[in-house]
């Protein structure tokens, strides 16, 4: 029976387009899954999307669609990116899948029946716009909401709680005395910040929004999104449902991989839930840092996204996979920069590995017409070369067992560098000129081809698209690159035939590329910013002083239809509109000429401030004003009125 191996990514929030940050975890897990498959394991690789919660409900409302319609669209973007990046997941879970929803309800009920979940009351300072409770210590320096900085009020809400304290000791031991957390250096921060001060019971239901898994035995409550989300790792295998049947086979997980922002949920809350359910704990939690851009975490709301599709189109998705995996050490952040990426692709892939393959194949072609003769002459230096390649194999295996991907790649490239050095040392171009040295030349080229076989097989989990092309070029069959054959030389047929092929990684013109990429990123950032609300951009909206309803009643806003419109001569900014206002008509001058052509407005219905004192603008009389809103790019948009509302109708 092959050894089983179960690996998971976090399930991502489908609240916006996936970016390079999401790619990192997914590509890292994909590489590990592929490596384990190559080793002969029976692998289950799970990814998916975490689709419930207030934020999704709000985003959908902003777009005027249902939450399900909203997530359906974004989930497709995630799936198409994973396809593009060659992600070989075995299963994709959506938390809106019926089987998951029902299983979460059963899990919640089981925890309730066991007495770990109880009904209580949540009280504290409540921020209505954010729909969040805060403790006094979390409030900002003015005693306001730490997120939106608006005033909070005391409120109570009925809610369910999960008892955390019974598990504190076991969790502390798990973090400090076992190999669960990787890197283990992070255990102290968790223990000191969360366990030592006393694990607080966790509020695990909400009544303030609907878009979640309903608590089956108490209408109006939905399950806290993290209980819903974390459960995915077991429901996807068939725990408490009939949709799948692999729980007994794959659980416990061998590796959950996440970034540091959600380490606490996976290091404390998830083990507590599993302990309460009497289930075995996952073997490892691998925590990586963030991909940052200009020092900030790369995320959609910061507007600093780098589009993986754009990068993949330019350099090929294997180069992108390689770059992000090569830069990030477990536990530490890695800063994304176009310059580092391009230099890395040029040095490691174009000059290092690509050049090794193309030089070797070209020489076999040039000196032997593609097929090596079997007469060989060996030399001591061959042993050293072979020892370095085989040593790399052993080190890669070790690093991958410890989920140290960057280290595994470094080991492989030590072998690539050694191979290039072997070419310099043996000088095959000199051997090729002398007929009597052909047996030596054949030995050198064979060693190189067989070394490339090992190195390329080791690289294949990380760059799955390119390596089969290498095997084609060096004349390796599928069985030649099997894992069991990577710990030995002499596997390629003695009379191997090479096939010259395309350049694997073309060299990139650094300066030209950086200029082009910077301008793409600049545009991405601008458009991402333009699409964010003021709140998402972190802007605080300063309201004008309060007015009473009587003050407001003084403003007469009426629906009017634009019947004619022209530019005001001598002004770049002004348009002169003729309006049917249901009161005999009137003329209004408006500063919107930069944003609208006259024909854009004719026939449209607008909101007219009808009792504004008349004035002259650029010498033209204006009797009122039409309403418009500022846009985030500094422009402005007229607030048009639905055509079914009659001219003259009062707006209140
Ligand atoms: O937290 N650098 O989903 P999420 C590296 N739904 N990794 C990054 C990253 C960056 N800049 N940005 C995102 C959630 N990630 C929850 C998870 S799991 C039961 C529920 C990766 O869409 C990283 O793996 O915010 C991080 O842990 C994950 O995306 C969070 O994705």
Alpha carbons 128 and 287: distance in angstroms, whole number: 34
Inter-CA distances, 344 with 70, 302, 507, 540, Å: 38, 26, 11, 41
Residue 339, pLDDT score:
87
Q: Mean pLDDT across the stretch 100-112?
A: 98
* Cβ-based neighbour number of residue 415 at 10 Å: 26
Q: Mean pLDDT across the stretch 124-133?
A: 77
Q: Are 643 and 600 in contact (CB under 8 A)?
A: no
Q: How far is CA 122 from the centre of its chain?
A: 33
Residue 322, pLDDT score:
97
Residue 546, pLDDT score:
83
Torsion of CA 515, 309, 525, 537, to 10 degrees: -160
| pLDDT > 90? residue 16 | no
Report the atom number in ligand 1 closest to the C-alpha of 290: 2
| pLDDT > 70? residue 537 | no
What is the Å distance from ligand 1's center to 55 Cα? 15
| β-sheet bridge partners, residue 567 | 575
| pLDDT > 80? residue 532 | no
Ligand 1 pocket mutation pick from 7, 9, 24, 224 by most atoms within 8 angstroms of CB? 24
- Check pocket membership of 60 for ligand 1, CB cut-off 6 A: no
- Check pocket membership of 299 for ligand 1, CB cut-off 6 A: yes
What is the Å distance from ligand 1's center to 629 Cα? 35
| Structure-token pair, residue 473 | 């070029």
Closest residue (by CA) to atom 18 of ligand 1?
10
- Check pocket membership of 11 for ligand 1, CB cut-off 6 A: yes
* Cβ-based neighbour number of residue 268 at 10 Å: 24
Q: Are 485 and 502 in contact (CB under 8 A)?
A: no
- Across the chain, mean pLDDT equals 92
The pTM score is 0.81
| pLDDT > 90? residue 557 | yes
Comparing C-alpha atoms, which of 19, 32, 11 is closest to residue 330? 32
What is the Å distance from ligand 1's center to 618 Cα? 55
Report the atom number in ligand 1 closest to the C-alpha of 291: 2
Range ranked top by mean pLDDT from 142-151, 251-260, 290-299, 595-604: 251-260
Residue 348, pLDDT score:
98
Q: How confident is the model at residue 150 (pLDDT cuts 50, 70, 90)?
A: confident
- Check pocket membership of 21 for ligand 1, CB cut-off 6 A: yes
Closest residue (by CA) to atom 16 of ligand 1?
12
Ligand 1 pocket mutation pick from 261, 269, 305 by most atoms within 8 angstroms of CB? 261
Q: Are 608 and 625 in contact (CB under 8 A)?
A: yes
- Check pocket membership of 627 for ligand 1, CB cut-off 6 A: no
Alpha carbons 646 and 549: distance in angstroms, whole number: 25
Comparing C-alpha atoms, which of 225, 240, 245, 226 is closest to residue 279? 240
Alpha carbons 488 and 389: distance in angstroms, whole number: 9
Longest dimension (CA), the chain: 107
Ligand 1 pocket mutation pick from 8, 9, 12, 263 by most atoms within 8 angstroms of CB? 12
Inter-CA distances, 181 with 187, 286, 295, 331, 360, Å: 7, 6, 26, 10, 43
| pLDDT > 70? residue 230 | yes
Instruction: Cite the beta strand spans of 17-128 per DSSP E.
Output: 42-49, 91-94, 117-127
| Residue whose token pair is 């006094």 | 136
- Check pocket membership of 13 for ligand 1, CB cut-off 6 A: yes
- What digits encode the pLDDT tens for the residues 343-389? 999 999 999 999 999 999 999 999 999 999 999 999 999 999 999 99
| Structure-token pair, residue 476 | 């390796």
Q: How confident is the model at residue 335 (pLDDT cuts 50, 70, 90)?
A: confident
Q: What are phi and psi of 115, to 5 degrees?
A: 85, 5
Alpha carbons 91 and 499: distance in angstroms, whole number: 37
Share of the chain above pLDDT 90, in %: 74
Comparing C-alpha atoms, which of 457, 504, 461 is closest to residue 476? 457
| pLDDT > 80? residue 297 | no
Alpha carbons 451 and 464: distance in angstroms, whole number: 18
Which residues, in sequence order, are CB contacts of 75 under 8 Å at separation 6+? 14, 49, 51, 94
| Structure-token pair, residue 100 | 């998951």
Report the atom number in ligand 1 closest to the C-alpha of 298: 11
Higher pLDDT, residue 426 or 146: 426
| Structure-token pair, residue 221 | 């409550």
- Check pocket membership of 261 for ligand 1, CB cut-off 6 A: yes
Instruction: Cite the beta strand spans of 375-492 per DSSP E.
Output: none
Residue 529, pLDDT score:
66
Comparing C-alpha atoms, which of 321, 644, 336 is closest to residue 460? 321
- Check pocket membership of 230 for ligand 1, CB cut-off 6 A: yes
| pLDDT > 80? residue 505 | yes
Q: How confident is the model at residue 509 (pLDDT cuts 50, 70, 90)?
A: very high
- Check pocket membership of 10 for ligand 1, CB cut-off 6 A: yes
* Cβ-based neighbour number of residue 432 at 10 Å: 16
What is the Å distance from ligand 1's center to 26 Cα? 10
What is the Å distance from ligand 1's center to 152 Cα? 29
Residue 124, pLDDT score:
84
Residue 630, pLDDT score:
81
What is the Å distance from ligand 1's center to 92 Cα? 16
What is the Å distance from ligand 1's center to 10 Cα? 6
| pLDDT > 70? residue 38 | yes
Report the atom number in ligand 1 closest to the C-alpha of 257: 24
| pLDDT > 60? residue 264 | yes
- Judged by average pLDDT, the poorest of 100-114, 293-307, 499-513, 624-638 is 293-307
């Amino acid at each position: 029976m092959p050894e089983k191996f179960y690996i998971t990514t976090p399930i991502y929030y489908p609240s916006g387009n996936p970016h390079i940050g999401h790619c990192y975890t997914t590509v890292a897990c994909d590489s590990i899954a592929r490596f384990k498959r190559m080793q002969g394991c029976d692998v289950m690789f799970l990814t998916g999307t975490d689709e419930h919660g207030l934020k999704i409900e709000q985003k959908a409302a902003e777009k005027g669609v249902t939450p399900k319609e909203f997530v359906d669209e974004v989930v497709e973007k995630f799936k198409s990116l994973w396809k593009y990046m060659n992600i070989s997941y075995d299963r994709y879970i959506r938390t809106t899948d019926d089987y998951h929803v029902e299983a979460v309800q059963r899990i919640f009920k089981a925890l309730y029946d066991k007495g770990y979940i109880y009904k209580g009351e949540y009280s504290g300072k409540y921020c209505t716009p954010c729909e969040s409770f805060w403790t006094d210590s979390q409030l900002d320096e003015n005693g306001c909401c730490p997120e939106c900085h608006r005033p909070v009020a005391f409120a109570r809400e009925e809610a369910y709680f999960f008892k955390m304290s019974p598990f504190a000791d076991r969790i502390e031991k798990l973090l400090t005395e076992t190999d669960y957390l990787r890197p283990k250096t992070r255990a102290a921060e968790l223990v000191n910040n969360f366990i030592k001060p006393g694990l607080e019971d966790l509020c695990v239901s909400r009544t303030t929004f609907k878009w979640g898994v309903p608590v089956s035995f108490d209408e109006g409550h939905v399950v806290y999104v993290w209980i819903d989300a974390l459960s995915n790792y077991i429901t996807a295998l068939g725990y408490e449902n009939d949709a799948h049947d692999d729980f007994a086979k794959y659980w416990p997980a061998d590796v959950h991989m996440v970034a540091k922002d959600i380490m606490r949920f996976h290091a404390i809350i998830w083990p507590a839930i599993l302990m309460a359910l009497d289930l075995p704990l996952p073997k490892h939690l691998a925590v990586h840092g963030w991909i940052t851009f200009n020092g900030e975490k790369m995320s959609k709301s910061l507007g600093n996204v780098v589009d993986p599709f754009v990068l993949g189109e330019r350099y090929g998705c294997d180069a992108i996979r390689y770059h992000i995996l090569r830069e990030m050490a477990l536990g530490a952040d890695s800063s994304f920069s176009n310059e580092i990426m391009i230099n890395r692709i040029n040095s490691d892939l174009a000059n290092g590995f690509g050049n090794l393959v193309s030089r070797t194949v070209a020489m076999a072609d040039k000196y032997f017409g593609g097929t090596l003769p079997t007469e060989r002459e060996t030399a001591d230096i061959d042993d050293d070369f072979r020892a370095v390649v085989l040593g790399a194999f052993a080190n890669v295996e070790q690093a991958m067992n410890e989920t140290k991907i960057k280290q595994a790649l470094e080991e492989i490239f030590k072998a690539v560098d050694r191979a290039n050095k072997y070419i310099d040392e043996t000088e095959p171009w000199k051997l090729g000129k002398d007929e009597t040295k052909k047996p030596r030349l054949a030995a050198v080229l064979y060693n190189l081809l067989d070394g490339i076989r090992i190195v390329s097989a080791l690289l294949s989990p990380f760059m799955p698209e390119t390596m089969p092309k290498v095997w084609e070029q060096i004349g390796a069959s599928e069985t030649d690159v099997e894992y069991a054959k990577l710990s030995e030389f002499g596997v390629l047929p003695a009379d191997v035939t090479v096939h010259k092929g395309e350049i694997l990684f073309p060299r990139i013109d650094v300066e030209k590329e950086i200029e082009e990429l910077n301008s793409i990123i600049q545009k991405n950032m601008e458009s991402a910013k333009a699409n964010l609300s003021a709140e998402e951009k972190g802007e605080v909206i300063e309201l004008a002083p309060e007015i009473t309803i009587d003050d407001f009643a003084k403003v007469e806003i009426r629906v009017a239809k634009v019947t004619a419109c022209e530019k005001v001569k001598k002004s770049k900014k002004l348009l002169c509109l003729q309006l049917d206002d249901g009161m005999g008509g009137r003329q209004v001058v408006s500063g919107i000429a930069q944003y609208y052509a006259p024909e854009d407005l004719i026939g449209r219905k607008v909101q007219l401030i009808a009792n504004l004192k008349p004035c002259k603008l650029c010498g033209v009389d204006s009797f009122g004003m039409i309403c418009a809103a500022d846009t985030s790019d500094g422009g402005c948009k007229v607030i048009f009125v639905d055509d079914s509302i009659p001219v003259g109708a009062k707006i209140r």
